[in-house]
Structure formats: structure tokens, C-alpha cells
Amino acid sequence: MKTFITDDFLLNSEPARRLYHEYAEGMPIFDYHCHLNPQEIYEDKQFSDIGEAWLAGDHYKWRVMRTCGVPEEYVTGKASFQEKFQRFAAVMPALVGNPIYHWSHLELLRFFGIEELLDTASAPAIWDKANSVLQSPQGTARALITSSKVRALCTTDDPADDLQYHKLLAEDKDFATQVLPTFRPDKILHVENDEYPVYLQKLGAAAGVYIRTLDDVKTALKQRLDYFASCGCRLSDHSFGSPDFTVWDEEAAQEAMNKALNGEKPLDYEVAAYQSLLMDFLGGEYAARGFTMQLHLGALRNLNTLRFRGLGPDVGCDSIGDGIPAASLAALLDRLAVRDALPKSILYTLNASDNEKLIAAAGCFHDGATAGKVQFGSAWWFNDHLDGMEKQLRDLANIGVLSRFVGMLTDSRSFLSYPRHEYFRRILCRVIGGWVADGQAPADYELLAAMVQDICFHNVANFIGIQG
């Protein structure tokens, strides 16, 4: 059967169709948060097959395969990628209503020109056709990025990373897409984790600092921030569940470090003190360098102990937390704002019930100089589907200012994920076009075209400070 993805997929009104086809469709991409490997970009990785390209690291697909009863051998195990692909194809008909059904067929259509629905019967022909592209010059990592019209992308990088491949890419004049690092210091902030003492040594070695005190941590982080800035970094990123940023106790923060270094678990109060003080410090450092601070909030990670022991993190065993304490987040933003040290910030939540809370909080910290200084970020992870994106856009429009929104990102480990930007743009035009069709917005296409194109690309390029 032929794909359901027509030219007007998701565009359910004439204004939506006009906005998308005339204004959104041709816009370039600025993928300001992803998990692509810069080494694979530099070396222009050639994928062996669609199984590797799709299933080597995609925990979204792993989750649904397990849900459909696929044994782990064919998910993350030792089965061949062809066998894994066949098992994924077999479960695809069961995924109607799941965004993976949309994304997968969009990717087949856009990268490979495949119009058939993926299932057990079509899998062999799709395998052969996709592989013929992936094994050609059009199927390399760089070619996939270029064909998707990606002007710039930002990877996710540990402060101890040497950024070797970012530097090599910056010197490579044959590749037009900017590949920039993002400062992600989660391992130094989560003092409660067992691996913290080992990581402390790694960070210290990278920075040339012997770390034993909170001041030592700050010295090391400043050194690495300067290094990242020299390599083109313009953003940081942080992941927290339900953090408490209300504890400003330096003695307790140091005690958290001391206990962690001695193999003891710090108290919740001590962890909160440590994270509050470090985030306050880092926020000021970001502001001083013109970095944008991203806060990913509300994830419950590694819920399945057996799976974590066997496979490690990021394997599809994370979930949605109960909610983000508004007072906690406000305490951090306010402490920075009071001393004029609040950086441009993007707030994401995994719990859609927190949308309004974060949008309202963000609106309290604009400075009248930077448009949309504190952003409510795109529908994240379990929310990046039709309903979740529509809710995020409508909530932002209702409580904030949608026209200043910095738009979509892939948050992906796959070079085949760029049709997610198309997916978002269709939904964006669906929402705005629906307002026109319902008489809630004027049929002024000059006005609306600028709004749509700003959200698709221009806002984030201006916000982060990189023009494509």
C-alpha cells in the first residue's frame, strides 16, 4: 500500500496549506540540540544499511519493539541489523497512532523516495532500496545533513571532551554546515551519582586542576567554558528531574562533595545546596560569555534496574516525572536576574502538565532588551507528537508570545531524523492556519509568513547568535 503522507499531510485547512507550502517548506534548519556524533560527521560515516541507521541507538524504536514483544536479542542484542530491521518492520502496523509511524514513513519518503508502507511484506524491497541509497554518495552522514538543508547543528558534549572533531570540522571548508559543541556538565552537577568521584578526576585532568573543593570545581569549569567558547560553543544544556534550587548553603554543598569522595551518599539537602550554588555560578558564567542556558526538566531516568545494569542509560527505560517545583526554578532564575547575570535560557519539561507553569515563570524574567530572553522550549521527548506539539504551541501562544519562539530541534542520535523539522513545521502551520480558518487570526499572509519563517529558523539563529 502507498504511503498516507501526501503533499498536504497534517495540513487540514487552506490557510495551513498555503503557510506551509509557500513559506515554511523551503526554510533551512538550525538544529540547536541533538546527540549526533561529531566524529561520524567529520569522517563522513557511511552506514552499512537502514538497520544500522535506524536501530543502532534509537531508544524510541527500542521501547515500542519491546512493547510489541520483540526479544531483546533483536532490539539491542547480537542479532544482525537485517534481523532487527525485519522485527521492526513486523511491528510497524501496530504503531498506527504513535509518532514513530509518522516519522519512519516520512524518513523513508524523504531520504529514499519510498512510498510503500513498511511491514513484513514490504520489508525486503525497502531494505534493498534504502541500502542502495545509504551505500551511495547520497547516503553518507554529511550528504544526509546537507540534503536536509541544515545550516548549523549543536551536538551535546561533556566538559572534559577535547572537541577534536569540532575543531577539525571548523577547519574543513568542504562542509558548509556549522557543527558546534554544547556544554553539558551533568556529570559534575549530579554529585549524588556513584560515578561522581571518577568523573571529578577526569574533569580535573582536562582542566589541569586538582579538584577537592567547590572552588576547585568552579576553577575547572571556568577553564573548560573558555575552551568550549574558543571552539564555537554558544549553548549549555542541563538535565534535572525535580531539582531544588532554593538551598544556598556553601558548607552543605562542600559536605556533599566530601561525602561523595568518601563513597557516602550525600543528603538531599546537601545535594540541593551543591546544585543550587553550582547552577548559580554557571548561569553567571554563561551570561558573561553570551551562552544560552538550556534546562531539561522532569525526567525520571533508569527506572528499570535490570535493564540499567545490563545495558546502561539511554536505552528506553526513562519516564515522565511528577512535576517541577515552580518555586525552585524561579529561585534560580531570580537569583541570577537580581545580579544581572541571567543568561538567555530555554526551559523544557517532560511533563506537559507543567507547560503553563514554565511559560508563566519564563514571562517573569524578560529584560526588555532581548526578545524572548527566557523561552519555553519545544515539545520534548514523550511530547514531540501531534497532540504534544499542538498543546505546546497553543499553551505558549495563550500565556507567552508564540512569534518569538525558537522552534524545533531533533534531540536525536540519528542522521535520518531531520524530517522531524518538517513534521513540526506542518503542525505549526496547521495550528496558525486553523486560527485563520476559524476567524481567530487575520488572513494577512505577509504578517503570518514572517511569523512562520521566524519560528522555523530566524528566531533561533538570532537568539543563539549564529547567522546561517
**What digits encode the pLDDT tens for the residues 245-269?**
999 999 999 999 999 999 999 999 9
26-79: pLDDT as tens digits: 999 999 999 999 999 999 999 999 999 999 999 999 999 999 999 999 999 999
Contact 344, 370 (CB under 8 A): yes
* pLDDT score for 56: 94
C-alpha cell recorded at residue 276:
543550587
Instruction: Report pLDDT digits (tens) over 2-38.
Output: 889 999 999 999 999 999 999 999 999 999 999 999 9
- The per-residue pLDDT for range 373-416, each reduced to its tens digit, is 999 999 999 999 999 999 999 999 999 999 999 999 999 999 99
58: left (phi over 0), alpha (psi -120 to 50) or beta: beta
pTM (predicted TM-score):
0.97
Q: Which helix (H) or strand (E) holds 235?
A: strand 235-240
Whether pLDDT at 468 is above 70: no
Mean pLDDT of the chain: 96
How far apart CA 9 and CA 189 sit, in angstroms, is 43
Cell digits for 393? 504551541
Task: Check the CA dihedral 10-12-18-24 and report its sign.
Answer: negative
Three-state DSSP class for residue 49: coil
What's the Cα-to-Cα distance from 446 to each of 22, 282, 449, rounded to whole Å? 11, 41, 5
φ, ψ for residue 211 (rounded to 5)?
-105, 120
What is the predicted pLDDT for the residue at 467?
56
pLDDT at 2: 84
Q: Which of 23-27, 68-72, 106-110, 322-326 has the lowest mean pLDDT?
A: 322-326
Q: What is the pLDDT of residues 78-105, one digit of tens each?
A: 999 999 999 999 999 999 999 999 999 9
* Contact present, 60 and 160 (Cβ < 8 Å): no
Residue 302: DSSP 8-state: -
Tell me: pLDDT of 106 over 90: yes
DSSP 123: H
**What is the arithmetic mean of pLDDT over 271-288?**
98
Domains (range + CATH), the chain:
14-46+141-464 (3.20.20.140), 47-139 (1.10.2020.10)
Query: Can you tell me the distance from the alpha carbon of 304 to that of 122, in angstroms, rounded to the nearest whole number?
Result: 34
Candidates 20, 141, 19, 28; CA nearest to 467 is 28
